[in-house]
Amino acid sequence: MTVKHRLLQISGACLLAVCLDAAAQTPYPGKPVRWVVPYPPAGGADIVVRIIAQRLAASTGQPVVVENRAGAGGNVGSEMVAKAAPDGYTILLANVAPMAINVTLYAKLPYDPVRDFAPITLLASFPNVLVLHPSLPARSVTELVKLARARPGQLSYASAGSGSTTHLSAELFKTMGGLDMLHVPYRGGAQALTDLLGGQISMYFSALPGAMPHINNARLRALAVTSARRSVAAPEIPTMAESGFPGYEADTWIGVVAPAGTPRVAISRLHDEITRILSAAEVRERLLAQGAEPLTNTPEQFAAHIKSEIVKWAKVIKASGARAE
């Protein structure tokens, strides 16, 4: 090798090192972030994401574009993010269903919730709430059970999709109560609520944030929440356990994850910004008013939470006999 060639090789290596160093020094994010929600707009999880996304855009100086990709109980949007470039510019609203329930509910998933994602943080949890159309003559869970037993196979219940917690909450109710009711799955909570409001469906275990406005204006009748304790947002609504179903519990949690392999600098920045946003009093108050309890944890804690939830929901699904339709 000539001296000239050697000098060219050294200068080329130095140039590459400078470029890589410059890339490493580029602040994240340096362009818009796409936040995929695997459900239609206006559902409980979508409401929470949009509250956070607006403030995340303001704090990072980059647009945060919320993109709804519904289908297959959250699997469509989740698969899309699992296969996206791991560069920090595509993140996923991680719901309990596609991240923990669908592993057992579906014979095969197009992604692995543990292997294919980098957890960032939990965002919130909220109970589902059993709501009825006001025309249904039941004002308590006990009265609803009596009505369902008097009309086997006639009462219908909506869900935001097979395998969602809105579905499994009802399946658990059916199993514990020995009830025969018709499942009507939708592609998200918004349409389920629309048909319930219109009287086409008898009942729905809705995510509390989506149902709260309709409960408050008396367009829907709330009978019970699915959490172990009463919701701060609606303390007047009893729990299912208080309503004759001891041991009943089925909460919904949401978080945010990125594709596996996403740089740690991006994970850390998103984690820090989001946890700061959720600690703001005005954000907490707004989420609580929607029925969502703000939650945060570390990426490592969130990863452990996902694994434990897979085990928990596998037991519920097997006991209820629920399956993807």
For 237, the token pair is 């609504």
Burial class of residue 226 in the structure, from the number of CB atoms within 10 Å of its CB (0-12 exposed, 13-18 middle, 19+ buried):
buried
Summarize the confidence of residues 283-306 as an average pLDDT.
Answer: 93
Strand, helix or coil for residue 55: helix
Structure confidence at residue 72 as a pLDDT band (50, 70, 90): confident
Strands 203-207 and 156-159 turn out to be parallel
C-alpha–C-alpha distance, residues 48 and 193, integer Å: 17
pLDDT at 25: 59
Strand partners, 95: 254
The CATH number of the structural domain formed by 127-243 is 3.40.190.10
Summarize the confidence of residues 84-112 as an average pLDDT.
Answer: 95
- 140 vs 161, higher pLDDT: 140
Percent of the chain with pLDDT over 70: 92
Go through the chain and tell me how many residues it has.
325
For 320, the token pair is 């209820």
Q: What's the CATH class of domain 30-126+253-320?
A: alpha beta
Summarize the confidence of residues 39-54 as an average pLDDT.
Answer: 91
Average pLDDT, whole number, for the chain? 90
pLDDT at 20: 39
Summarize the confidence of residues 259-287 as an average pLDDT.
Answer: 97
Summarize the confidence of residues 99-103 as an average pLDDT.
Answer: 94
pLDDT digits (tens, 9 = 90+) for 5-40: 554 454 555 544 444 344 445 799 999 999 999 998
**Same fold yes or no, 30-126+253-320 and 127-243:** yes
CA end-to-end distance (rounded Å), the chain = 68
Q: With contact defined as beta carbons under 8 Å apart, do 294 and 124 qualify?
A: yes
Structure confidence at residue 45 as a pLDDT band (50, 70, 90): confident
Q: Where are the domains of the chain?
A: 30-126+253-320, 127-243
Over the range 237-273, which residues count as b (16 or more CB within 10 Å of their CB) and which as e? bbbbbebebeebbbbbbbbbbbbeebeeebbebbbeb
Residue 180 has pLDDT above 90, yes or no: yes
